[in-house]
Amino acid sequence: IVKDANKKLGAARQVMEKNGADMLERKVQVVRDAYAETKANNIFEVQKLKDEMQANERRQTELWTGKVKAMAQEVQNMQSQMQQQAKTFQATMEAAKSGSASQVSELMQRHQSEVRALEEAHSRALAAVRNELGGDVAR
């Protein structure tokens, strides 16, 4: 009976050891599965975050590229406008210079005409005074 009980206890111990090892293996497998699932979820989240960051970077690049292009176009337009205004100013200055020269020339001619007219009027008046004086002297 004791031998039989020892055999049964040995068999029970083997079953328990086997069950314990199997239990331990199952627990290890559960931990491995949980780790693998957590790792897969984390990799998915990291990839999702990476994709979102790349999309955001593309949007920002497009936005700022558009803004820089618009500013460059605005600067170019302002530069063209400035060049046109400089040409207009230069043409106006030259016209003013030539206009001033022609106005001065015209004023000089008018002045000379008036001076001649005054000289002639003075000469006539002087001749008339001489004639009067000459007539008085002759009398």
Q: For 123-133, write each residue's pLDDT tens digit.
A: 898 888 888 87
Q: So what's the pLDDT on residue 130? A: 83
Cα 135 to Cα 70: distance, rounded to the nearest angstrom:
94
Q: So what's the pLDDT on residue 54? A: 97
Cα 6 to Cα 70: distance, rounded to the nearest angstrom:
94
Per the structure block, which two tokens stand in for 133?
């004086």
CB atoms within 10 A of CB 138: 6
Cα 93 to Cα 99: distance, rounded to the nearest angstrom:
9
What is the number of H-type helices and E-type strands within the chain?
1, 0
Letter for the amino acid at 86?
Answer: A
Mean pLDDT, residues 31-50 taken together: 94
Cα 61 to Cα 25: distance, rounded to the nearest angstrom:
53
Cα 84 to Cα 90: distance, rounded to the nearest angstrom:
10
Say if residue 5's pLDDT is above 80: no
Q: So what's the pLDDT on residue 139? A: 45
Q: For 76-120, write each residue's pLDDT tens digit.
A: 999 999 999 888 888 877 877 776 667 777 878 888 999 999 999
